[in-house]
Amino acid sequence: MSRIRSKNTKPEMILRSALFRRGFRYRLHDKKLAGKPDLVFRKYKTVIFVHGCFWHLHKNCRDGRLPKSKLEYWKPKLTKNVERDVLHSVELKGQGWTVLTIWECEILKRLDAIVSMIESTLQLQNV
C-alpha cells in the first residue's frame, strides 16, 4: 500500500499535460481546500478531482468493483473514501467553488472530450 500514490498519478499527469497544452494554468493539491483537489483554478473558482475507479468505487465501471477477497478490509475502506469525497465536494460547493470529478477510465478512453468539457466549464465560470 505504501507504493500507491495519491499525487501525480498517470491519469492526473495526462490530464494536467492536456490542459497545460491548451493554455490553462492551475495550482496543484492546495492544502487549504477540503480534500486537497488535484487541480485548482483560482481564477475560475473551480477545482478538479481526478479519481481512480477502484479507489473511489466508480459506478458502472469494470474497475470500480469491490474485490472478492478480504472484503471485510476493502469494503469499509473504499466506502469511507466515497463518503469523504461527498463531504469534500459539499464543503467546497458551500464555499462557492465549482467541483468537477474526472474518472481515471474517462481520461484514458476519451481525453479530448474531457478536456473540452473542462474548457467549456472554465469559460462559463469566467463570464
Query: Domain map of the chain by residue range?
Result: 10-121
Q: What is the pLDDT of residue 108?
A: 87
pTM listed for this prediction: 0.91
List, in sequence order, every beta strand (DSSP E) within the chain. Answer: 27-28, 39-41, 46-51, 98-103
Question: What are the cell numbers at 81?
Answer: 473514501
Cβ within 8 Å of residue 33, ≥6 positions away: 40, 47, 92, 97
Question: What are the cell numbers at 19?
Answer: 490542459
Q: Give the architecture (CATH level 2) of 10-121.
A: 3-Layer(aba) Sandwich (3.40)
Put the strands of the sheet holding 98-103 in their side by side order: 27-28, 39-41, 46-51, 98-103
pLDDT digits (tens, 9 = 90+) for 49-80: 999 999 999 998 888 888 889 999 999 999 99
C-beta of residue 31 within 8 angstroms of C-beta of residue 37: no
Q: Is 29 exposed, middle or buried (0-12, 13-18, 19+ CB in 10 A)?
A: middle
pLDDT digits (tens, 9 = 90+) for 7-18: 788 999 999 999
Q: What percent of the chain has a predicted confidence (pLDDT) above 90?
A: 79
